Amino acid sequence: MRGSTKLFRIFGIDIKLHFTWWFVFALLAWSLSASFFPEFFPDLSKEMYWSMGITASLLLFVSVLLHELSHSLVAKAKRIKVESITLFFFGGVAGITREDMKPSSEFQMAIAGPIFSLLLAGVFYLVNQNGFSVFITAISFYLYQLNLILAVFNSIPAFPLDGGRAFRAILYWYFKDLRKATKIAVSIGKFFAGFLIVLGVIGLFNGIGAGLWFVFLGGFLFFIAGASYEQVAMREVLADIRVKELLKKKYAKLSPSMKFVDFVKKYANKDEEVFIVKGKGFVGIIDLKQINKMPVKMQEMIKLKQVSIPLHQIKTLGSKDSAYTAFRKFAETGLEILPVMDGKKVLGVVSKKSVMHRLVWEFKFGKLGKVKKRKHKQK
Ligand SMILES: [Zn+2]
């Protein structure tokens, strides 16, 4: 996620903090010290309320982190790659590559978070009941409630909440159709998100400031739910298309020693997008989007070899790869074209444009509405 800074690394997972988190932290620490703690634990000093507010906010952050970490550790146990956990405005997100996940794995992964939050709520409750100092009692009072809320709210079967993910896993297991399962889970998720927004608006009209929070949260969940469905639908469509179908075998083959200025003269008026630079033991591609504007004087000095990307530095595609693999590699590399190789031989190239073009056509005129059921392979 953009705007995140890495805090530390644990179990091989990067823990990152999104800048929006600071606003929430400040707001939370302030509201806890100014109203929550003075209300429930009156007649204490201002400094005491502030130290309670800050400590409780930090521990809430740790609670959310542990919740996310519990998802991630189950994922890791299932050999699913977890790259990072980012803590932001509305809690946390784990950067988990969820491709071809078995329903049982997704189910276990989803319920791990709420279960852990419930356990944490229990621990804080026990601490609260033990009559330690007022400081510990106050903080644990707040944290057992918040962790309980985290556990209950996340268990609601509204995608993309944990409960909704678990529910989708059950539907996926039942229908053996990820797209259908996602569609049902997402409609419930959107309904719930709409409900939150309506609730928030009603609250705002009645002068309850927290209503705004509900509106934001509802909007956010609605957006994520919709995007998740599109992603699943897109993945299914692209997974059925072979890179071979999109292969462009005709492309401009250029010499590495060609001057850039000559290249511009030759191709400025031609409808050519793909350029392979080959010769004298060098093979590379030119991605026009990667080349910055340069003055004519420089263009006269620079040779094509200097502006092309050597093939060995590129994640190439195999002819048996799917368009979804290509799509992912475009996103990873930021390139607009990728060579398709058969061993060391260049078969041709696939452009991002052609993948997107095909996707638009599939969505408009393809068999998307009745995509053949892709049976889930149980290993
Ligand atoms: Zn969760």
On the question of pLDDT at 300 being above 70, the answer is yes
Instruction: Check whether residue 248 and residue 233 sit in a common domain.
Output: no
The CA 114 to ligand 1 mean position distance, Å, reads 6
Q: Which of 239, 273, 289 corresponds to the end of one domain? A: 239
The CA 56 to ligand 1 mean position distance, Å, reads 20
379 domain residue, yes or no? no
The CA 87 to ligand 1 mean position distance, Å, reads 12
The letter for the amino acid at 288 is: L
The CA 61 to ligand 1 mean position distance, Å, reads 13
**Nearest residue to 59 via CA among 29, 20, 99, 84:** 29
Instruction: Check whether residue 287 and residue 229 sit in a common domain.
Output: no
pLDDT, position 1: 58
Mean pLDDT taken over the chain: 83
pLDDT, position 370: 46
The CA 20 to ligand 1 mean position distance, Å, reads 19
The CA 211 to ligand 1 mean position distance, Å, reads 23
pLDDT, position 377: 42
In a 13 Å sphere around the CA of 16, the CA atoms on its Cβ side amount to 19
Q: How far apart are the C-alpha atoms of 359 and 365, rounded to whole Å?
A: 10
Instruction: Check whether residue 187 and residue 329 sit in a common domain.
Output: no
Two tokens at 265?
Answer: 């003269």
Two tokens at 374?
Answer: 């892709």
Instruction: Check whether residue 129 and residue 233 sit in a common domain.
Output: yes
Q: Which of 41-45, 86-90, 270-274, 328-332 has the highest mean pLDDT?
A: 41-45
The CA 64 to ligand 1 mean position distance, Å, reads 8
On the question of pLDDT at 96 being above 70, the answer is no
The CA 253 to ligand 1 mean position distance, Å, reads 51
The CA 69 to ligand 1 mean position distance, Å, reads 9
pLDDT tens string 213-258: 889 889 988 988 888 888 888 888 888 888 888 888 777 888 888 8
Proportion of the chain above pLDDT 90, given as a percent:
19
pLDDT, position 98: 57
**Weakest mean pLDDT among 31-35, 154-158, 345-349:** 345-349
The CA 225 to ligand 1 mean position distance, Å, reads 15
The CA 43 to ligand 1 mean position distance, Å, reads 37
The CA 123 to ligand 1 mean position distance, Å, reads 19
Q: How far apart are the C-alpha atoms of 267 and 278, rounded to whole Å?
A: 17
Q: Are 170 and 107 in contact (CB under 8 A)?
A: yes
Confidence of residue 166 (pLDDT cuts 50, 70, 90): very high
Instruction: Check whether residue 39 and residue 74 sit in a common domain.
Output: yes
Q: What angle do CA 112, 114, 117 make, to 5 degrees?
A: 105
Q: Which of 239, 260, 283 corresponds to the end of one domain? A: 239
**Nearest residue to 154 via CA among 64, 222, 230, 73:** 64
The CA 285 to ligand 1 mean position distance, Å, reads 43
Instruction: Check whether residue 276 and residue 170 sit in a common domain.
Output: no
CB atoms within 10 A of CB 207: 7
The CA 237 to ligand 1 mean position distance, Å, reads 28
376 domain residue, yes or no? no
pLDDT, position 95: 62
Instruction: Check whether residue 262 and residue 218 sit in a common domain.
Output: no
Please report, for residues 46, 48, 113, 252, 321, the alpha-carbon distance to residue 116 in angstroms, rounded to integers and kept in the order given: 33, 30, 5, 58, 39
The CA 160 to ligand 1 mean position distance, Å, reads 9
What is the length of the chain?
379
In sequence order, the 6+-apart residues with CB closer than 8 A to the CB of 39 are: none
The CA 98 to ligand 1 mean position distance, Å, reads 15
Q: Could you tell me the residue range of the domain that residue 287 belongs to?
A: 243-370
pLDDT tens string 51-90: 999 999 999 989 998 998 998 889 888 887 777 788 776 5
The CA 115 to ligand 1 mean position distance, Å, reads 9
The CA 113 to ligand 1 mean position distance, Å, reads 5
On the question of pLDDT at 263 being above 80, the answer is yes
Q: How far apart are the C-alpha atoms of 324 and 139, rounded to whole Å?
A: 48
Two tokens at 331?
Answer: 């996103």
pLDDT, position 187: 92
The CA 220 to ligand 1 mean position distance, Å, reads 15
Radius of gyration of the chain (CA): 27
The CA 324 to ligand 1 mean position distance, Å, reads 27
The CA 23 to ligand 1 mean position distance, Å, reads 21
The CA 39 to ligand 1 mean position distance, Å, reads 30
Confidence of residue 376 (pLDDT cuts 50, 70, 90): very low
On the question of pLDDT at 137 being above 50, the answer is yes
The CA 154 to ligand 1 mean position distance, Å, reads 6
On the question of pLDDT at 371 being above 80, the answer is no
CB atoms within 10 A of CB 353: 13
Instruction: Check whether residue 56 and residue 158 sit in a common domain.
Output: yes
The CA 42 to ligand 1 mean position distance, Å, reads 34
The CA 35 to ligand 1 mean position distance, Å, reads 28
On the question of pLDDT at 369 being above 50, the answer is no
On the question of pLDDT at 374 being above 50, the answer is no
Instruction: Check whether residue 173 and residue 247 sit in a common domain.
Output: no
Instruction: Check whether residue 355 and residue 253 sit in a common domain.
Output: yes
The CA 180 to ligand 1 mean position distance, Å, reads 23
Q: How far apart are the C-alpha atoms of 256 and 166, rounded to whole Å?
A: 54
Question: What number is the average pLDDT over the span 4-20?
Answer: 83
The CA 366 to ligand 1 mean position distance, Å, reads 36
Confidence of residue 151 (pLDDT cuts 50, 70, 90): very high
Question: What number is the average pLDDT over the span 5-26?
Answer: 83
User: Which CATH number characterizes residue 275's domain?
Assistant: 3.10.580.10
The CA 25 to ligand 1 mean position distance, Å, reads 19
**Weakest mean pLDDT among 147-161, 241-255, 287-301, 359-373:** 359-373
Beta bridge partners of 96: 82
Q: Which of 239, 267, 291 corresponds to the end of one domain? A: 239
On the question of pLDDT at 93 being above 80, the answer is no
